[in-house]
Every structure is written in structure tokens, then in C-alpha cells.
């Protein structure tokens, strides 16, 4: 099996929250560098693996959310030979991140800068944009369109060993606990996500790498479980909206934290969901449901 590595970015000192993947391929490649607040950790981890400023060649982005791609502009300044690979519909946000940052600020408010830091533009001539129908960055690594979490979401299948670097497409898996659906507003599309999970089932990877967090086997069980949870959350939100139950989002957050507490410990689960509140996931489904009655 290839020796791809999961790099724990230790986001705000929390282990097991955000991962970057170093892919064992023909040229040094990473998947999702994470937010700028983790840049120093990432650069040190690459250096420990023998990758200096002139070594990194490829940065594969699953999508442009700041917890996955926020450090990209800074990273390219430090690694001048690296090229960014991203969906064509996400490329403009990397070249001019102003709208993306403004949207993220609306979601995270005053915590934005503490969580994610500054996002710098990526030069257009250092982007290799993927369009539907394109095979992938090179033979042996296939780009897979995986919309749902956001329309331009991609995953990368290492066809040599069957590892799918899935970003958020296979959900959040913390400390081996049950899969949790990451559905923040405003771009989640539940019908597209169902098609993505069917596509993953048809591909049949051996394992997947989740940005939140780690490499997991048992992919068929995880795939079915995530779809079940997406369906259940949609049904729950529809009922709450009909009843005008505005408190259900907070109840959902508390229930998710309680469920994951035995896997993560109370302190770690609180710190994670202070950053990625499950109430925000509830709100993303509510945003979708209101537009898809």
C-alpha cells in the first residue's frame, strides 16, 4: 500500500479536528492545506517529511471553505513551485476570496479571525481548474465530483490503493465515533449529496480520508449511515419549521455533543463544536428546506 500520511493540523491546539493529507504520488502533493491559523503546523510537518520550500508541487482542494483551503494563498508564497487544483466553479473564490471571506464572517461572526485567520488570493496562473469530464490531475489519481456539502465539492481517488480523499463528502468522523453530517449554510444540497453517496458506493473505495478527521475503512457502512443521518436531520428540521420550534437547533447541537462525548471526551467535544456548531448544520438544512419545500 502507498504511504500517504494524515497530518493533524492541531487547529487552535485541538488534536483530531482538521487533517491535511500528504499523498504518496509522482510529485509531492497535499490535499486541503487547512486554514491560515494552521499554516505554521503544516509547514513544520512537511519539513519533518523532507519537503522544503522548493519541493511541494501540487495542492488538491476538495472545496474552498476556509477550514479546508484558507491557507492556500499563503502556502503558495512559501512553496513557489506548487500548483493548486480546484473545481472550475471554485477557482474564482481562490483568485478573489473577498466574497467567500464575507460569507464566512456572516456565519462565524467575531470568532472568524481567531478561527481561520487571513485568506490571501491565489494567482490565477497557478491554478489548474478541473471541469466536469476531466479525468484528474494525473494517471492514478482520479478527480470525483462530489456535490452536496457545496456544489463544487471534489474528492480525489488514489486508484493505486483505493483511498478516497473525501473532504467533507463522507461526513465528519471524530475519534472513530458515528458519522455526523456537515451541512452549514448556504450551499448544502441534500439531493445532490444523496447522488454523491450513491456514486461513492458505485466506485467502492477501500477507505476514505475525512478532513474531520482521519482515514477510515468500513466505507459502505459509513456511507449508508451518513445518508441515514442526512435524511433524519432533514425530516427533523421540516417538522421543527412547521411547528415554528426555533429552539430545536440548540437541542440538536446538545444531542450531537452528548453522542460524541464518549468518543472524544467532554473537553474535546466542547472545543470542537464551539468551532463547528451542530446548530449551524441544523441551520444549513433549514436554509435548504425553505428553498425546497
Which pLDDT score is estimated for 139?
Answer: 86
Confidence of residue 1 (pLDDT cuts 50, 70, 90): very low
pLDDT of residue 26: 84
Residue 214 pairs in a beta bridge with 210
- The tens digit of pLDDT for each residue in 245-287 reads 989 999 999 999 999 999 999 999 999 999 999 999 999 999 9
- pTM of the shown model: 0.96
The percentage of the chain sitting over the pLDDT mark of 90, rounded to a whole number, equals 92
pLDDT bin (cut points 50, 70, 90) of residue 174 is very high
DSSP string for the chain: ----EEEE--BTTBTTS-EEEEE-SSS-EEE----GGGHHHHHHHHHHTT--TTT--EEE-S---HHHHTTHHHHHHH-TT-EEEEEHHHHHHHHSTHHHHHHHHHHHGGGHHHHH-------GGGEEEE-TT---SBTTEEEEE--SSSTT-EEEEETTTTEEEEETTT-B--TT---B----TTT--HHHHHHHHHHHHHH--SEEEETTTEEE--HHHHHHHHHHHHHHHHHHHHHHHHHT-TTHHHHHHHHHHHHHHHHH-HHHHHHHHHHS-HHHHHHHHHHHHHH--
Q: Please write the tens of the pLDDT for every residue from 57-84.
A: 999 999 999 999 999 999 999 999 999 9
- For 171, left (φ over 0), alpha (ψ -120 to 50), or beta? left
Where along the chain do its domains lie? 5-291
Which CATH code for domain 5-291?
3.60.15.10
Amino acid at each position: 500500500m502507498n504511504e500517504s500520511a494524515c497530518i493533524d493540523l492541531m487547529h487552535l491546539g485541538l488534536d483530531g479536528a482538521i487533517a491535511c493529507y500528504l499523498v504518496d504520488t509522482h510529485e509531492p502533493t497535499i490535499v486541503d492545506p487547512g486554514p491560515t491559523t494552521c499554516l505554521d503546523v503544516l509547514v513544520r510537518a512537511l519539513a519533518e517529511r523532507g519537503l522544503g520550500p522548493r519541493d511541494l508541487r501540487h495542492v488538491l482542494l476538495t472545496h474552498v471553505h476556509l477550514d479546508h483551503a484558507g491557507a492556500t494563498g499563503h502556502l503558495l508564497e512559501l512553496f513557489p513551485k506548487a500548483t493548486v487544483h480546484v473545481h472550475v466553479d471554485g477557482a474564482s473564490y481562490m483568485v478573489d476570496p473577498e466574497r467567500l471571506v464575507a460569507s464566512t464572517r456572516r456565519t462565524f461572526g467575531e470568532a472568524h479571525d481567531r478561527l481561520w485567520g487571513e485568506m490571501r488570493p491565489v494567482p490565477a496562473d497557478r491554478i489548474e481548474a478541473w471541469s466536469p469530464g476531466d479525468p484528474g490531475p494525473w494517471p492514478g489519481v482520479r478527480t470525483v465530483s462530489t456535490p452536496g456539502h457545496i456544489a463544487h465539492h471534489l474528492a480525489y481517488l488514489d486508484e493505486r490503493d483505493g483511498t478516497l480523499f473525501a473532504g467533507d463528502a463522507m461526513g465528519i468522523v471524530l475519534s472513530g465515533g458515528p458519522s455526523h453530517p456537515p451541512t452549514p449554510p448556504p450551499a448544502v444540497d441534500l439531493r445532490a449529496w444523496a447522488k454523491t453517496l450513491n456514486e461513492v458506493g458505485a466506485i467502492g473505495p477501500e477507505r476514505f480520508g475525512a478532513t474531520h478527521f482521519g482515514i477510515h475503512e468500513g466505507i459502505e457502512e459509513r456511507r449508508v449511515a451518513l445518508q441515514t443521518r442526512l435524511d433524519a436531520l432533514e425530516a427533523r428540521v421540516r417538522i421543527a419549521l412547521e411547528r415554528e420550534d426555533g429552539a430545536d437547533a440548540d437541542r440538536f447541537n446538545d444531542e450531537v455533543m452528548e453522542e460524541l462525548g464518549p468518543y472524544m471526551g467532554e473537553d474535546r467535544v466542547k472545543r470542537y463544536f464551539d468551532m463547528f456548531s451542530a446548530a449551524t448544520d441544523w441551520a444549513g438544512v433549514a436554509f435548504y428546506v425553505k428553498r425546497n419545500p
